[in-house]
């Protein structure tokens, strides 16, 4: 997967598999099923909120 990062929703399918669904309008970003037992899944962080509109343009985000 290289250096690219995308926000994805995590959904457990069963004890060993999870589905990752990209938050994207791009049709090429299809859901991925990952077998957690193989070590292919690495969570970098968890998004808890998003700033949109005027709040995102505030100077302390520069």
Whole-number pLDDT of residue 40: 73
Whole-number pLDDT of residue 1: 46
User: H or E segment at 19?
Assistant: strand 17-22
**Residue 58 half-sphere exposure toward CB, CA atoms < 13 A:** 6
- Convert the pLDDT of each residue in 13-37 to its tens digit: 998 899 989 888 888 888 989 887 8
- Convert the pLDDT of each residue in 44-58 to its tens digit: 788 887 777 766 666
């Amino acid at each position: 997967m290289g250096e690219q990062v995308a926000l994805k929703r995590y959904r457990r399918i069963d004890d060993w598999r999870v589905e990752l669904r990209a938050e994207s309008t791009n049709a090429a970003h299809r859901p991925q099923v990952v077998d957690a037992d193989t070590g292919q899944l690495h969570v970098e962080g968890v998004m808890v909120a998003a700033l949109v509109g005027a709040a995102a343009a505030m100077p302390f985000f520069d």
